[in-house]
Amino acid sequence: MADISSNFLGIKSPNPFWLASAPPTDKEINVTRAFEAGWGGVVWKTLGEDPPVVNVNGPRYSTLMSQDRRVIGLNNIELITDRPLMQNLEEIRRVKRAWPDRAMIVSLMVPCVEESWKRILPMVEDVGADGIELNFGCPHGMSERGMGAAVGQVPEYIQMVTEWCKHYSKMPVIVKLTPNITDVRLAARAAKRGGADAVSLINTINSIMGVDLESMVMHPSTGGWGSHGGYCGPAVKPIALNMVGEIARDAETAGLPISGIGGITTWRDAAEYIALGCGTVQVCTAAMVYGFKIVEDMCDGLSNFMDAHGYKTIDDFRGKAVPTVKDWKQLNLKHIDKAVIDQDSCIQCGRCHVVCEDTSHQAIFYKKGENGERKFEINEAECVGCNLCVSICPVPDTISMRTLAVGEVDARTGITVTGEYGNWTTHPNNPQCLTPAEA
Amino acid sequence: MESTANRACGVHAARLNLVEYAVNFSDSHAPLTKPQALIEAERCYYCYDAPCATACPTSIDIPSFIQRIAQGNDRGAARAILEANPLGGMCARVCPTEVLCEQACVRNTNEDKPVEIGALQRYATDALFDNPGAPLFTRSASTGKRIAVVGAGPAGLACAHGLAMRGNDVVLFDAHPKLGGLNEYGLATYKTTNGFAQKEIDWLLSIGGISVRCNQRLGRDMTVDSLLAGYDAVFLGLGLSGVNAIGIAEPQADGLRNAVDFIAELRQAGSFSDIPVGRRVVVIGGGMTAVDAAVQATKLGAEDVTIVYRRGASAMSASTVEQRWAQTHGVKIKHWSAPKEILSENGKVSGVRFAMTTQRADGGITETDEQFTINADMVLKAIGQTYTADHAGGKIELKGGRIATDEDGHTSVARVWAGGDCRVGGRDLTVEAVEHGKVAAQSIHAALNAA
């Protein structure tokens, strides 16, 4: 059996699945239920200074559903904890004592004033927290008060606050990054310069879920007015994975520990984040959609995956996919793929044909037999290997891509595959083409 | 390639050609393909305190195992199934899911189409048995305790597995040459093809700590007392070895048989063409056994097969799905008719005379004056089985003709537990027998290893 325990910045947990700082981690009762269900750790919902913030008494959440009514996105306009600081601290102390083997990270957001951080850090340390997470990412409500995303969008502020935390506390510092930013690497570099032990990302994305067309009111609304909320869930996973990958492969931040957040619903999602360099993963939406029990399926799946691939610990495959993330200009222009339709499992829906015909390369033949039987076949003379048909086919594994072997001729271009590597930087069409000597 | 069956009257083997037998007795329901399994698994809502799991006698965590299939974690799915039900593979094939988990599925509310839990369960367990990998379950440290499990049907097997897993040593006795009980001898052939019953038992025994003694009959080769003297505890999973009489004179005539014997003979047949079947067959009864016998008679080439039952369709213990299965396989079901006389000529069955029945206000059945005869050269009796008490001796308290136990399966005799169909108060389901065995194992282990 694989060992799925994690040691992140010296913080040990029986598995890498932490609950992200969010409504599920706001109270002792919830966190206790989470630990009973088997979660490896939690990031306690963000603490702030008293008096506590006040939430709206109306809809705070709203979801985007796919056609089969599965939640693929969740938006929220919650703030940081709306309970008194001391109450939260007492509960954190109790829960950590009752569950010493679980990770207890405390999320913090106080004004951008040294005094505020100096005051709160010893209190958190005193209750036995394993580490802190700086919430520089909350996109709504708090940023309007000069905290959250407002800080996270200014690298100098990130560095300054991180430095304060490292100065006034011995706890490991994780900086949570906002995705509402042009280049996440700048924020990660600033965190590292400030002495951060790790970054966690992504926080939520600014979003409006919709508009009620009957009343012409944005949705959801609090008594007729709404505000943008933070978006998370499966739909944001690709955005988060990209940002994680960018930080993992950036020369300045390579090796900086990362806690991955964004749409993790299954063991597979978690394994992908780990493969891109994450030491732990944080989950919120999946728990808010299905309840805490899902962690069992996540642990079981991760463990079976690791057994199947001979990985004994998480570190055995952590970051294994990072070297495969490159700039576009590095991709091999001499590699050729063609789509293949498995006729045995094709259900003849014709969607591949129409999207290729309408929006791509007219590379899928539609043949009607004498008795009306339908057949869809790839026309390799037109197929550019764009993967659209593979991506939209409703039947698993029916359309796939095959790579042309060395010596095969590309029916579209007439070029014979040589197996050589050549990218845009050396391509004759590139006005800034490097000579082989320069390349 | 359909040909005409041999329509000779009387009871004859080889009515069909070998190809037809192979087709007729192949897997009754094709297993789900991977795409089918994924699409079906993604229909599950992952309910909280899921009604399907509540409806399952073994309380399999159905939402979890289905989720794991959807996530490509087939091994984890099998683990979730088998830790609750070590015979989850057979149950996936034979459970009347339409009245258990699938009836409880919340998808029925708006769609009348539950998630196909049984088919998904088979998909996950098949995947494991096809590729067992490392053991799913390992034994705890030895307790030094020895338990005799008598009867290697679903209850005994589940009990043996549960005890062995907890570090106890088990000796598993069965009166038959093969293990499995009903799984091996009492189910229609097309429900468990390709030697699945034995494959599952091989996996179950692979946990270790279970020694097998076949051809050992309680009351003949050993007694409850002798077992109590040699073992720390005894579990009785004796099943129902007796067959109910039909309550009318039964002439000594060829062609009159117990349906259970007919089914067992089919399961053990080297070749289906060796099994004789009538041209016209009457099956008396209304349960799963009646259906299994009748459908297999048609599959052997019988021309007219009629199930005759003394009450209406809703009173039949065969589920609606099973009844439909029979009707779509050429079996006619005749209700409200009770047998009056088995007719025979020259020592061979020639038919059955029935009286029409009606239901009284008190729910009872009254025979009317109206009578009819169905010509038949084979008559199969399938009106239920009974517990044979004399094997286990008279010390064990009975209730309604079966063994009385508490919730954990403990009988009136110290250190003796019982479960499965021989225990009173069940619905005679495989999955229930598994639960009895599982719970008894927990109870026996706790009783023997109390600190």
Q: Could A268 and B71 be called an inter-chain contact, meaning their C-beta atoms sit closer than 8 Å?
A: yes
Of the candidates A294, A304, A396, which has its C-beta nearest B75's C-beta? Answer: A304
Find the closest chain A residue to B68 by CA distance.
Answer: A297
Q: Could A398 and B48 be called an inter-chain contact, meaning their C-beta atoms sit closer than 8 Å?
A: no
Alpha carbon of residue A126 to chain centroid: 32
Averaged pLDDT, A350-369: 95
Q: Could B67 and A297 be called an inter-chain contact, meaning their C-beta atoms sit closer than 8 Å?
A: yes
- What's the CATH superfamily of A6-324? Aldolase class I (3.20.20.70)
Q: Could A294 and B71 be called an inter-chain contact, meaning their C-beta atoms sit closer than 8 Å?
A: no
Find the closest chain B residue to A302 by CA distance.
Answer: B73
Q: Could B35 and A345 be called an inter-chain contact, meaning their C-beta atoms sit closer than 8 Å?
A: yes
Q: Could B64 and A293 be called an inter-chain contact, meaning their C-beta atoms sit closer than 8 Å?
A: yes
Domain regions of chain A by residue span: 6-324, 328-426
Nearest to A283 by CA among A43, A28, A11: A43
Of the candidates A297, A345, A395, which has its C-beta nearest B64's C-beta? Answer: A297
CA A394 to chain B, closest CA, distance in angstroms equals: 10
**Residues in chain B closer than 8 A to A304 (CB atoms):** 73, 75-76
Cα separation, B412 vs B421, in Å, equals: 17
Predicted local distance difference test score (pLDDT) of residue A439? 56
Does A9 have pLDDT greater than 90? yes
**Residues in chain B closer than 8 A to A396 (CB atoms):** 34-35, 38-39
Secondary structure class of A399 (helix, strand, coil): strand
Predicted local distance difference test score (pLDDT) of residue A369? 87
**Residues in chain B closer than 8 A to A305 (CB atoms):** 73
* Residues of A carrying an active site annotation: 138
Is B72 an interface residue toward A (CB < 8 Å)?
A: yes
Q: Could A397 and B34 be called an inter-chain contact, meaning their C-beta atoms sit closer than 8 Å?
A: yes
Predicted local distance difference test score (pLDDT) of residue B3? 64
Is B134 an interface residue toward A (CB < 8 Å)?
A: yes
To test the contact with chain B by mutation, choose from A72, A297, A312, A399 the residue with the greatest count of B C-beta atoms within 10 A, namely A297
Predicted local distance difference test score (pLDDT) of residue A144? 67
Of the candidates B35, B46, B73, which has its C-beta nearest A300's C-beta? Answer: B73
CA B25 to chain A, closest CA, distance in angstroms equals: 26
> Which residue numbers of A have CB closer than 8 Å to B's CBs?
1, 68, 70, 266-268, 290-291, 293-294, 296-297, 300-301, 304-305, 307-308, 345, 395-398
b/e A191-204 (16+ beta carbons within 10 angstroms → b): bbbbebbbbbbbbb
Residues in B 10-49 with any Cβ partner in A closer than 8 A: 33-35, 38-39, 42-43, 46, 48
**Residues in chain A closer than 8 A to B79 (CB atoms):** 300
To test the contact with chain A by mutation, choose from B64, B65, B71 the residue with the greatest count of A C-beta atoms within 10 A, namely B71
Find the closest chain B residue to A268 by CA distance.
Answer: B71
Secondary structure class of B163 (helix, strand, coil): helix
Nearest to A62 by CA among A213, A200, A215, A227: A227
Cα separation, B230 vs B46, in Å, equals: 48
Predicted local distance difference test score (pLDDT) of residue B1? 44
CA B45 to chain A, closest CA, distance in angstroms equals: 9
**Residues in chain A closer than 8 A to B38 (CB atoms):** 396
Find the closest chain A residue to B37 by CA distance.
Answer: A396
Of the candidates A296, A307, A398, which has its C-beta nearest B64's C-beta? Answer: A296
Single-letter amino acid, residue B119: A
Cα separation, B343 vs B340, in Å, equals: 10
Residue owning tokens 């990302």:
A201
CA A301 to chain B, closest CA, distance in angstroms equals: 6
The phi, psi pair for B4, rounded to 5°, reads: -95, 135
Does A435 have pLDDT greater than 80? no
Residue owning tokens 């005379």:
B353
Predicted local distance difference test score (pLDDT) of residue A150? 80
Nearest to B28 by CA among B322, B398, B269: B322
**Residues in chain B closer than 8 A to A398 (CB atoms):** 35
Q: B362: exposed, middle or buried (C-beta count within 10 Å: 0-12, 13-18, 19+)?
A: exposed
Reported as a pLDDT band with limits 50, 70 and 90, residue A278 is very high
Cα separation, A304 vs A268, in Å, equals: 11
Alpha carbon of residue B157 to chain centroid: 13
Pairing label, strands B233-236, B146-150: parallel
Find the closest chain A residue to B70 by CA distance.
Answer: A266
Is B350 an interface residue toward A (CB < 8 Å)?
A: no
Does A282 have pLDDT greater than 80? yes
Predicted local distance difference test score (pLDDT) of residue A138? 63
* Residue pair B290/B259 in contact by the 8 Å Cβ criterion: yes
**Residues in chain A closer than 8 A to B73 (CB atoms):** 267, 297, 300-301, 304-305
Q: Could A300 and B68 be called an inter-chain contact, meaning their C-beta atoms sit closer than 8 Å?
A: yes
Domain A328-426 sits in CATH 3.30.70.20: yes
Q: Could B35 and A68 be called an inter-chain contact, meaning their C-beta atoms sit closer than 8 Å?
A: no
Is B406 an interface residue toward A (CB < 8 Å)?
A: no
CA A46 to chain B, closest CA, distance in angstroms equals: 28
**Total number of residues shown for chain A:** 439
Averaged pLDDT, A382-408: 96
* Residue pair B356/B370 in contact by the 8 Å Cβ criterion: yes
Nearest to A47 by CA among A107, A133, A123: A107
Q: Which residues of chain B, if any, have pLDDT below 50?
A: 1
Find the closest chain A residue to B33 by CA distance.
Answer: A345
Averaged pLDDT, A150-172: 93
